[in-house]
Structure 1
Amino acid sequence: MTFTVARRTAVTAVTTALALAGLVASVAPAATATPQVSPPRAPAAQALAAPDIPIANVKAHLTQFQAIAGANGGNRAHGRPGYRASIDYVKGKLDAAGYTTSLQQFTTSGAIGWNLIAEWPGGDAGQVLMAGAHLDGVSSGAGINDNASGSSAVLETALAVSRAQLRPTKKLRFAWWGAEELGLVGSRYYVNNLPAAERAKLTGYLNFDMIGSPNPGYFVYDDVPALEKVFKDYFTGLGVATEIETEGDGRSDHAPFKAVGVPVGGLFTGASRAKTAAQAQKWGGTAGQAFDRCYHSSCDTTANISDTALDRNSDAVAHAVWTLGTAPTVPPGDTYENAADVAIPDGGAAVTSSITISGRTGNAPPTLAVGVDIKHTWRGDVVIDLVAPDGSVYRLKNSSANDSADNIIATFPVDASSEPANGEWKLRVQDVVAQDSGFIDSWKLTF
């Protein structure tokens, strides 16, 4: 994991470049659309349950990465032979397992780097679920927790897909990023070179960076509540409490995806920050000690791993891939849109935009898609909720001090199956921090 701090520039005027989804204020007109008629759909099946990921298999990958570092100058850093050997190891495993793999080359800091992308056959190519981790380490050590741990868990999950001969509903794409430690270079290169039409196919990107810290915490990304819930539900089933990830928020490979509106989620067990007494009581371990005392150090070896944390998190990776990747997909349905602009006060009260649905039968679907287009000069300031006709609130996006990109143009999945379809739905948007402002350009509901 790399830590780089974004610089915030104050903006005092709303610009036409702002784009984020919100709820229109009460002064804005409500929109009622006449949808196209779609054919009846079969009852949705349930997502498949994930297999257990053998911790012995994950640790065997860690041992291989340790050996690769030892044979190549003691590290697996960008531009060093240990990184290319790491790529070759992962690619060989995936090729043998039936994946279609490709290497994406880029150059940074005077050296060639590579991203490794692997796709599993089958699934809807128009709905792509990605899971990834950075494969490079720093030059001072083997980089086992940071980040052979995440790389190995993603690799073993991909191999489990092959062993199960899984037939996912979504296209499954796995990625191992280069030069993350130099500033998210590999993942940013991938996102920046992905055509807009291909970005639009990404239903989510899941990131796994440092998931075996020796004095672990259990941290979950909260960027997209629907993805956050998948991980939190898994840990709740284990009786393990979680906290929102804040130490490295926006400073790992999910950040470039998030910046272009792709829904992101992920896991983290902590780096150089010290575990508090309350966290030690909750999770065990040592209060006042770093989650990973060997962060970016030569002692980040196979001895620098909590087997318990690695086991739990590896299973959580598989749980998310199976849950999201085999969930029923719904063909494009009836869409209702409100395109009236609504100003979002800078650091002010929430505004809402309304869409009135009528003429439908039954409840809203478990796969209600909420598309938002909000123009804003600092998207991290913005909180977005969907408000159902009965007043129930579904959080779509939280604020984040480290989310410095412009605009929110994204589609958020909502399980609205407990809500009657007909009635007034509202998008509620609030700018919770001063200095930047924007407006709701448009938003839509797709049933």
Structure 2
Amino acid sequence: MNISVPRRVTAVAALAALALAGLTGTSATARPAEAAGAAAAPDISLAAVKQHLTDLQSIATSNGGNRAHGRAGYKASIDFVKAKLDAAGYTTSLQTFTTSGATGYNLIADWPGGDPNQVLMSGSHLDSVTSGPGINDNGSGSAAILETALAVSRAGYQPSKHLRFAWWGAEELGLVGSKYYVNNLATTERSKIKGYLNFDMIGSPNPGYFVYDDDPTIEKTFKDYYAGLGIQTEIETEGDGRSDHAPFKNVGVPVGGLFSGADYTKTSAQAQKWGGTAGQAFDRCYHSSCDTTANINDTALDRNSDAIAHAVWTLSAGSTTPPTGKVFENTADVSIPDNGAAVTSTVNVTGVTGNAPSNLAVGVDIVHTYKGDLIVDLVAPDGSVYNLHNRTGGSADNIVQTYTVNASSEVANGAWKLRVQDKASADTGYINAFKLTFP
């Protein structure tokens, strides 16, 4: 996604980053980044988040056009998310409840490790209304936290706090699923949850950038992130108490979250600040049949997904363990021409039997002053292309990340290439290293 943000960090962003440093007791650079000494949050792939939305749309289409509580589409949605988390190494559980004469489901996923007495929890409701597939409300939040959870797994992230993700049922009937979860937690278990982050509608087609004003630390984490991108935020008031953070807040759990707007009207001042159309609802398809994959603003979805990962990494504070296995690496520097032709770094894989794995670890180390200029692809020996990064991340610099690619259709042995192209002017860099790890 091509995001238009300032190329040079403003003084406001610098002050915001320094304020975060004071909050956490560590230093910070003047851009949206994690504190020094903590693992950096990965860039969340917009394409991957949108693929989850496409899958949820297909589930709705195959099940009467919705994913509502008590309908087949909701159970299929839960099963879809659970399967991905199980494959990624999460400990998952289905919590059942009954409302409106039907069985409801909450999905809880715990990432192994971290202090069990210090839990950071992120959640989104997965159900739609009966009148439509619910892709913005709330496939958007559900897909973003799913991809964030999968990014935790791919990175081998070892947070200090214990990470827990949740997908709630029957939110549209009055926060039924999240209330059931909170009400059935023992007091001692509630006290272990040190923060709950809620994401309900984050890809509205005429978007705003709203931050919950509940817990000051969580609120500041999101605000500072957006300040680093040069984006003004507003306090979320439209849905206050109307989403799944409310049950947590009511029992004293610190809460926060993001929201891109529902059926309220965008003002002229908001349109001037964020773009879009004044006098029109943030989401004209709210609770309607037109809430499909066409009802998503890619820029808002991309920015908010990255903000979610930033908050999870920042508030849980930990490190990354690189994957282990048979490693093939090229550490020769390759200059990346400014706004020029694509360049490649090659590793030659030998001695691996059969096809590449479904979880091929692709280690990318690119030094560049503006990663939002870059398109990065993995090119298999037969020429097949797997996109890793497509001009996301805005004004942040460098790409140091391990991606997981399903390369099971490719013969393992041969020349694999990391292909990088700079698509805009004014910033420079080079490929520092490229490696493939076969488990």
Both proteins in one fold, TM over 0.5: yes
Tell me which residue corresponds to 1:262. 253
Tell me which residue corresponds to 2:237. 246
Contact 1:47-1:324 at 8 Å conserved across structures: no
The offset of 1:46, in angstroms, is 3.4
* Letter paired with 1:299: C
1:119 to 93, 96, 110: 110
**Whose helix proportion is higher, 1 or 2?**
2
Tell me which residue corresponds to 1:407. none
Residue pairs, 1:92-171, within 5 angstroms: 92-171=83-162
The offset of 1:218, in angstroms, is 0.1
User: SS of 1:262's equivalent?
Assistant: coil
Please give the alpha-carbon distance, in whole angstroms, between the structure 2 residues aligned to 1:224 and 1:147: 23
Tell me which residue corresponds to 1:277. 268
Q: Which has the higher contact order (CA 8 A, sep 6+)?
A: 1
Please give the alpha-carbon distance, in whole angstroms, between the structure 2 residues aligned to 1:246 and 1:288: 18
Tell me which residue corresponds to 2:178. 187
Please give the alpha-carbon distance, in whole angstroms, between the structure 1 residues aligned to 2:36 and 2:210: 30
Tell me which residue corresponds to 2:223. 232
Please give the alpha-carbon distance, in whole angstroms, between the structure 1 residues aligned to 2:38 and 2:262: 33
Structure 2: any 5+ residue segments left out of the alignment?
1-26, 28-34, 320-439
The offset of 1:47, in angstroms, is 2.9
1:280-336 deviation line (CA, Å, top 9, x unaligned): 0000000000000000000000000000000000000000000011169xxxxxxxx
Aligned length: 286
Contact 1:141-1:299 at 8 Å conserved across structures: yes
Contact 1:76-1:139 at 8 Å conserved across structures: yes
Q: Does 1:295 align with 2:289?
A: no
The offset of 1:65, in angstroms, is 0.3
Contact 2:88-2:153 at 8 Å conserved across structures: yes
The offset of 1:227, in angstroms, is 0.6
Residue pairs, 1:354-369, within 5 angstroms: none
The offset of 1:220, in angstroms, is 0.1
User: SS of 2:116's equivalent?
Assistant: strand
1:255-282 deviation line (CA, Å, top 9, x unaligned): 0000000000000000000000000000
Please give the alpha-carbon distance, in whole angstroms, between the structure 2 residues aligned to 1:250 and 1:75: 25
User: Identity of aligned pairs, percent?
Assistant: 78
Contact 1:45-1:327 at 8 Å conserved across structures: no
Please give the alpha-carbon distance, in whole angstroms, between the structure 2 residues aligned to 1:49 and 1:235: 16
Please give the alpha-carbon distance, in whole angstroms, between the structure 1 residues aligned to 2:304 and 2:230: 14
Structure 1: any 5+ residue segments left out of the alignment?
1-42, 329-447
Tell me which residue corresponds to 2:199. 208
* Letter paired with 2:238: E
1:56 to 30, 36, 47: 47
Contact 2:157-2:318 at 8 Å conserved across structures: no
* Letter paired with 1:67: S
Please give the alpha-carbon distance, in whole angstroms, between the structure 1 residues aligned to 2:157 and 2:317: 9
Contact 2:124-2:141 at 8 Å conserved across structures: yes
The offset of 1:244, in angstroms, is 0.1
Contact 2:67-2:74 at 8 Å conserved across structures: yes
1:73 to 64, 68, 89: 64
User: SS of 1:200's equivalent?
Assistant: helix
Tell me which residue corresponds to 2:344. none
Please give the alpha-carbon distance, in whole angstroms, between the structure 2 residues aligned to 1:213 and 1:239: 20
Please give the alpha-carbon distance, in whole angstroms, between the structure 2 residues aligned to 1:84 and 1:76: 8
User: SS of 1:167's equivalent?
Assistant: strand
> Aligned Cα RMSD in Å?
1.3
Tell me which residue corresponds to 1:83. 74
Contact 2:158-2:318 at 8 Å conserved across structures: no
Please give the alpha-carbon distance, in whole angstroms, between the structure 1 residues aligned to 2:267 and 2:254: 30
Contact 1:191-1:256 at 8 Å conserved across structures: yes
Tell me which residue corresponds to 1:174. 165
Contact 2:197-2:256 at 8 Å conserved across structures: yes
Length-normalised TM-score, structure 1: 0.63
User: SS of 2:119's equivalent?
Assistant: strand
The offset of 1:49, in angstroms, is 1.5
User: SS of 1:114's equivalent?
Assistant: strand
The offset of 1:45, in angstroms, is 7.2
The offset of 1:48, in angstroms, is 2.1
Please give the alpha-carbon distance, in whole angstroms, between the structure 2 residues aligned to 1:220 and 1:47: 24
User: SS of 2:159's equivalent?
Assistant: coil
User: SS of 1:206's equivalent?
Assistant: strand
Please give the alpha-carbon distance, in whole angstroms, between the structure 1 residues aligned to 2:230 and 2:251: 35
